[in-house]
Amino acid sequence: MRKRTACCCWCLILAPASRPSARRGPLWNRTCTTSDDDMTTVHIDQRGADVDIDGDRLVVRVDGERKGTLPLNLIERLVVSGMARVTTRLMVRLADKGIGLVLDRVGRTASATPLMATRADRALRLAQYDVLLNPVARLDFSRPLVREKIDGGLRLLADIETTAAGSSRDLAEARRRMAEAAALAADAAATPSLEVLRGREGAAARAFFAAFATVFAPALDFFGRNRRPPRDPVNVCLSLGYSLAYGEALRVAARHGFDPTLGVFHDIAADRDSLACDLVEPARPHIDRFVHQMFAEAHLRPEDFSGRGEAGCTMGKAGRRAFYRAFEERCAGPVRQTIDRVAGELASGLLYRFHDRPAARLLPPRDCGQPDVDAADKDGAGEAGA
């Protein structure tokens, strides 16, 4: 099976035009070793950069000054972030060569727009479609997502219990119920379907939030999970954190070449990208831990919020400033790492399973990890339309 290296990317390093560096560093930073079988992603993140072509080379200019080039034949996906500009002639050339293009709108919740899929994504997407039609395979791929989420919640409650921040009895009981749900979820006989697995996950989540609610001050009016709209300060922060993680999951899904609308644990729905929801699940405990710390350490207080109940609760400007600053410093890293790791593991698992599936024969040999052969050696392949 073709190897896909999730961490493999080329990053453009550019000093801001207003602050020229006296010391010139490398323009293209190779972050890991690549080979012909690796997915090579170029990520450009520079405000005001113009991304164009010159012959068969990618060219980046800032304020008209040429900053760097790279041969197109080394690129399989181009990710452009921020306020960089991409020329239409480059887009046409990328499409001709089957190079993927992703526009990453930094700072937006739904931030990744895959304009063009790379040809190298065909195997992964066919693998997604194949699993989507197989309930047993979907269940197998969903179990690790649920287990990691429950395990993360168990660790958080255990850590809180050591600080005596809540009722030790409530926390211990919640951990017992969550551990029981995790064991049942891992048992194929006890959890024979995706619907039952979702029930196990739901039971663990209810146990977690029932105990989690006991560790917050009564003034916060937090009695459990609610949303649309969130009715208390804790749920406001949980919803915001989960939304930020969802945006990151969309970016990661696009960079890996997934169809983000097709999940394994979450069904297809009109109002969401189900794969992004899948990728967020194991990262939720990081956000839960962060929200607990923000209130426990008084970085956020009840007065930072207005409104309660059915009409909804909102966070004020000072609270938002504190939340976003702390999230980037303390939570964004673990969330991103978890989502990227889970996406890489899922891609590898899907492709490994797909290798021997009948649909794999629809793809060129190289897409399925087989050596290329000359077109003349293929039966009729050298004469298209014959």
pLDDT tens sequence for the chain (386 residues):
433 333 333 344 332 223 333 333 333 333 332 333 344 668 787 778 999 999 999 999 999 899 889 999 888 778 786 678 899 999 888 878 777 777 765 444 444 555 555 666 788 899 999 999 999 999 999 999 999 999 999 999 989 888 765 567 888 888 899 999 989 988 888 989 999 999 999 999 999 999 999 889 999 989 989 888 899 999 999 998 998 889 888 888 888 889 999 999 999 998 889 999 999 999 999 999 999 999 999 999 999 998 787 788 888 888 888 998 898 889 988 999 999 999 999 999 998 887 777 666 666 555 554 444 443 344 443 333 33
Please give the Cα distance from 2 to 134 (Å, whole number). 22
pLDDT given for residue 24 in this prediction: 32
> Is residue 195 a known part of a binding site?
no
Environment class of residue 374 by beta-carbon count within 10 Å: exposed (0-12), middle (13-18) or buried (19+)?
exposed
- What average pLDDT is seen over the chain? 79
Whether 257 and 121 have beta carbons less than 8 Å apart is answered as: yes
The CA distance from 120 to 115, in Å, is: 15
Which pLDDT does position 77 carry in this prediction? 73
pLDDT at 2: 39
Q: Which CATH architecture does the domain made up of 9-17+25-104 adopt?
A: Ribosomal Protein L15; Chain: K; domain 2 (3.100)
Task: Please name the CATH architecture into which domain 128-359 falls.
Answer: Up-down Bundle (1.20)
| Residue 122, pLDDT score | 80
Which of 140, 357, 378, 133 shows the shortest CA–CA distance to 265?
140
Residue ranges of the chain assigned to CATH 3.100.10.20: 9-17+25-104
Return contacts of 300-303, CB within 8 angstroms, 24+ apart. 300/233, 300/237, 302/217, 302/219, 302/220, 302/233
How high is the pLDDT of residue 358?
67
Q: SS3 letters for 259-315?
A: CCCCCCCCCCCCCCCHHHHHHHHHHHHHHHHHHHHHHHCCCCCHHHEECCHHHCCEE
Does this model's pTM top 0.85? no
Query: Which positions ≥6 away from 319 have C-beta within 8 Å?
Result: 300, 304, 305
Range list for CATH 1.20.120.920 in the chain: 128-359
266 is in an annotated binding site: yes
Q: Give the pLDDT score at 16.
A: 28
Environment class of 342 (CB within 10 Å of its CB; exposed 0-12, middle 13-18, buried 19+): buried
